[in-house]
Amino acid sequence: MLREIVLDTETTGTDHAKGDRVIEIGCVELLNHIPTGRNYHVYINPECQVSAGAFAVHGLSNEFLADKPVFAAIAHEFVDFIGDARLVIHNAAFDIGFLNAEFGRTGHKVIDLAVVVDTLALARRKHPGAANNLDALCSRYGIDNSKRTKHGALLDAEILAEVYIELIGGRQVGFDLSLQPSAGRGIALNRNDAAGREAKPRTMISRLTDAEREAHASFIQSLGPNSLWREYIGESTPEQA
């Protein structure tokens, strides 16, 4: 069974090499590309100031984060949650750079970027030349992101899980095989819920030649007016007309 963790972070700024830190982590668990309802979410005291630019993006203030645990206090439970799952991240180099900087401080094993699925790279291959940020992908795939007035790690991870499923082949991966949400942290992502985002119908293109259609019509005529085939395709017999 394939286990994946769709992950997003929020940070104090844009450059971990200059001391910016992780302040929020949001994760959504997938099994065989289907959300299980088991999530991980935590706010973190960065032990430094949130930049004005970052605050404008996510709205997480220094005051709000002051009583939250530091990264070292949550590192073990975070590592336990992701385990050996494949990570799915949009613009993965950014998040992995920040997480590995934090792991470097705590002595945990760093994450190899080579084994992470970068949905930004997937989107660029699938839609070259188009806008491929998360909002643009939501618009392209008809995914509701109306609650995304500010960036938030868990909400963005939930939305990215839906985008990822579209990028790898669409909603047909679910059908009636969706797992029952399990008890866990965070908010369950239910692909069958009310937003009513149903599978998109596809028009089937006939590949029959005219000769094949004529041969089939002749065969139907040879069966007589009371054949079961005529009932199946909904043709009326003379008596029914």
5: β partners = 29, 87
Q: Which of 3, 164, 183 is nearest to 83 (CA)?
A: 3
| Band of pLDDT at residue 216, cut at 50, 70 and 90 | low
* Domain boundaries of the chain, sorted by first residue: 3-173, 203-241
What's the CA gap between 99 and 151, in Å, rounded?
18
Q: Using a pLDDT cut of 90, give the percent of the chain over it.
A: 66
**151 an active-site residue?**
yes
For the chain, give the mean pLDDT: 82
CATH class of 3-173: alpha beta
What's the CA gap between 194 and 53, in Å, rounded?
35
Question: What region, left, alpha or beta, does residue 196 occupy, with left being phi > 0 and alpha being psi -120 to 50 degrees?
Answer: left
This prediction's pTM: 0.71
The answer, yes or no, to whether residue 202 has pLDDT greater than 50, is: no
List, for residues 5-30, the tens digit of each pLDDT value.
999 999 999 999 999 999 999 999 99
What's the CA gap between 4 and 33, in Å, rounded?
7
Residue 34 CA from chain centroid, whole number: 9
The answer, yes or no, to whether residue 117 has pLDDT greater than 60, is: yes
The answer, yes or no, to whether residue 206 has pLDDT greater than 60, is: no
Higher pLDDT, 202 or 139: 139
Pairing of strands 86-89, 34-43: unpaired
Q: Which of 140, 89, 144 is nearest to 111 (CA)?
A: 89
Q: Which of 16, 58, 90, 151 is catalytic?
A: 151
| Band of pLDDT at residue 188, cut at 50, 70 and 90 | very low
How is 24-87 classified by DSSP, letter by letter? EEEEEEEETTEEEEEEEEEE---SSPPPHHHHHHH---HHHHTTSPPHHHHHHHHHHHHTTPEE
> What does the pLDDT read at residue 145?
83
